[in-house]
Chain A
Amino acid sequence: MWARVSRWCARHRPVPPVSPALSIDHLDVRFGEVAAVSDVSLRLDEGTVLGFVGPNGAGKTTTMRAVFGLVEPAGGSLSWADAPIGPAQRRTFGYMPEERGLYAKMRVHDQLRYFGRLHGMRSADAARAATATIERLDIEQYADRPLSTLSLGNQQRVQLGVSLMHRPPLLVLDEPFSGLDPMGVEVMAGALAEERDRGASILFSSHQLELVERLSDRVAILLRGSLAAEGTLEQLRARDAERRFVVEAPGAPDDWWHGVEHVRPLQDAPAPADGRPVARRFLVERPGAERALLQAAERTGHLVAFAPDRPSLARIFRDLVA
């Protein structure tokens, strides 16, 4: 009972009066006949991190590109601080596209300074910021080398530097962690946290769900171009918390739960070698049906544990995709 009250409170906590920084309303993007993004609405508050999750082709990159005007929306609107996003706003944003790309022959420091200036920094400020960014990303020894002579991981650090050196209020990073070694992942994660602490709003996508879980204030899950779920991690977990159960009955027959109504087994981690999963997770589709499930489990004579499930983001994601 007390748990329910506290959960209710958590869900209905009064929202602090922050106006959304980035707001995407009913975004539609079509490529010919294909709807790449349909009716996606998202908001990103100032100084928060939104993790963008979804299988390949779900529309994450397209949504991000729409923020930068790289695709033309068929419908919907995008605004920043309550004003429609236009060239003047985009110039202040920072963007790290999925397809990395910089000038291969240009030296690292020159490259950063150039992009700083394109984003409106004055010459001296851009030079200073380039030096500071290079230090921060730990690539000082490459400052005067052409980009193409750096390893791919270090090129990616430069790409990150290009996106954040002008201290953008909005930072959009498409798969910033892909292809990084563990050291690179830590540098990238550290940079994201620093940017958030500085006050930047960050939208980033990743398939590494533990990272999303660790770094995001809110998570949005995109499936086939539509928003499947959105909220804080707690909210996502709480969404089905009363309906998720994990049952451990080693040695029970595979189909012990067959015939229990309003209960759906959830896709699980790969079964052990003998083919019988030790723990099974279920989604109860009607309140109270869990009792029937418990009785069925008891009847097997193998029941070890029957408990509410607290899924990780990876589990929530897998269940949604399944």
Chain B
Amino acid sequence: MILGAGTRLVAEREIRERGRSNAFQVGTVVLLVLVALLAIIPSVLTGGGPTQRTLAYVDGPVTTAVAERARALSRGSDDVVLRLERRGDGDGARAAVRSGDADLALLEPGRILADDPPGDTVRSYLATARRDVAISRTLGDAGVDRRTAASVLATGPASIELLDPSRADRPDQRTLALAALMLLYMAVLIYGIWVASGIVEEKASRVVEVLLPAVHPRELLAGKLLGIGLLGLGQLLTVVAVGVGAALATGSLDLPASTPETLALLVVWFVLGYALYAALFALSGALVSRQEDLTSATTPLTMVLVLGLLLSIQVIASPDGLMAQIAGLFPLTSPIVQPVRAALGSLPLWDLLLSAALTVATTVGVVVVAARVYRTTLLQTSTVGLGAALRSAFSRD
């Protein structure tokens, strides 16, 4: 019934006309560029490799040993790598820093001159190097041979084993979660507003007078939601495909093994979130009859979405926290919070199913109310309050 010929025709028109509009085409291109950039940027940022710092040192047995030990420690780091400059005395080393030939100078084993305060990494290289040199000299003085002394100092950092290997803190997983969050937020917001403004457009232009003799209001609403939803889904899939493709092609993102599930969940939550918010936006569009009044009618919804976005950014930091769990189960925020938690590997199955069920139930309720209000307000030419609209929508029978 709902998917009758009228619904299909209305949906087709939405897809064709909106797909053809400049707003949609420009929006798609902008989104694609953004996603491609997001996928490529990590490799651009890390593309130059580690930064190099030049350390001038005063030629002397201890300072030379400390400088060389520091350089050895920095070797292989993806953060800071040291390069050495030897100077005959303290004045030479100072002059090297002053002229910019060196970033810092090792004047004595425990005295450093620098143009800018050195970072923690450089400080730790130098501190460790000084201690290592002191230890090896003490070991040498105590008659321990060089090789034994060297092996004592070669002890590396401890290896770390995770209880749940999927919980490894990977920056790429956060990138994925952030991308999923932004995509869902934008999709739900943009398509929701399309639904609301499409409804108002038909009322404001009075085209409803010509439509209603030919189409049932239910078909008109269903077709609009379906058409815009399918168009949005198509756009989302394109954007995701381009993003993942760009990431794979440039090798910039080390995509987590859970990526396919994350993407599948992204699509599922897009459908759920779109259905819920499109119905809510349809309801707010049904209350006004001029485009000028639409912004004020949709502001509460937009604010809820922004709140959801802010919560989700919190959730990225703490995907298992109490707030994440509450926001994940609250139907109005779960469509953008749960995909983030899923992308971070912190979404238990029961939590996912429960929140999906709550969202679906809420959506069904909102759709029923929105359809009734839509039908009763379709021919009205003035703004009505939500309360009055609900009363007249449900007083008929």
Contacts and interface: CB of A to CB of B under 8 A. Distances in A.
Interface of A: 65, 68-70, 87, 90-91, 93, 95, 97, 99-106, 110, 114-115, 117-119, 159, 162-163
B252 to A, nearest CB: 40
A103 B208 contact: no
Given A105-B17, A114-B9, A118-B9, A90 B213 contact: yes
Given A70-B379, A99-B206, A117 B9 contact: yes
Contacts of B21: 105
Contacts of A118: 6, 9, 211, 214-215
B206 A100 contact: yes
Contacts of A87: 216
Interface residues of B, number: 20
Instruction: Tell me the interface secondary structure of chain A in the complex.
Output: loop
Nearest to A90: B213
A190 B9 CA distance: 32
B210 A102 contact: yes
B205 A101 contact: yes
Contacts of B216: 87
Contacts of A115: 210, 214
Interface of B: 6, 9, 13, 16-17, 21, 201, 205-216, 379
Contact of A95 (B17, B213, B215): B213
B35 to A, nearest CB: 28
11 contacts: A68-B209, A68-B213, A70-B209, A97-B210, A101-B207, A101-B208, A101-B210, A103-B201, A106-B17, A110-B16, A114-B13
A94 B211 CA distance: 11
A101 B216 CA distance: 18
A87 B215 CA distance: 8
Contacts of A100: 206
Given A69-B213, A97-B210, 8 more contacts: A70-B209, A70-B212, A102-B210, A103-B201, A104-B205, A118-B214, A162-B210, A163-B210
A194 B212 CA distance: 26
- Could you say which of A91, A101, A110 has the most chain B C-beta atoms within 10 Å of its C-beta? A101
Contacts of B211: 118
B205 A90 contact: no
A202 to B, nearest CB: 16
Contact of A103 (B207, B213, B214, B215): B207
Contacts of A95: 209-210, 213
Nearest to B220: A118
Contacts of B212: 68-70
A104 B204 CA distance: 11
A93 B209 CA distance: 13
A101 B215 CA distance: 16
A114 B13 CA distance: 8
A273 to B, nearest CB: 45
Contacts of A103: 17, 201, 205, 207
A91 B213 contact: yes
A102 B214 contact: no
A261 B262 CA distance: 96
B379 to A, nearest CB: 6
Contacts of A93: 213
A17 B9 CA distance: 41
Contacts of A68: 209, 212-213
A80 to B, nearest CB: 12
A90 B214 contact: yes
B381 to A, nearest CB: 9
A149 to B, nearest CB: 15
B206 A97 contact: yes
A102 to B, nearest CB: 6
A235 B138 CA distance: 130
A102 B213 contact: no
A68 B215 CA distance: 11
A91 B206 CA distance: 18
Contacts of A91: 213-214
Contacts of A70: 209, 212-213, 379
A105 B205 CA distance: 11
Nearest to A94: B213
A207 B105 CA distance: 98
A65 B209 CA distance: 9
Contact of A102 (B6, B9, B205): B205
Contacts of A163: 210
Contact of A99 (B17, B201, B209, B215): B209
B200 to A, nearest CB: 13
Contacts of A114: 9, 13
A115 B212 CA distance: 11
A38 B205 CA distance: 29
Contacts of B17: 103, 105-106, 110
Contacts of A69: 212-213
Closest 5 CB pairs of A and B: A101-B206, A97-B209, A118-B214, A101-B207, A99-B206
B394 to A, nearest CB: 16
B209 A101 contact: yes
Among B21, B201, B210, B213, which residue has the most Cβ atoms of chain A within 10 A? B213
Nearest to A117: B9
Contacts of A99: 206, 209
Contacts of A90: 213-214
Contact of B207 (A65, A102, A110, A119): A102
A119 B209 contact: no
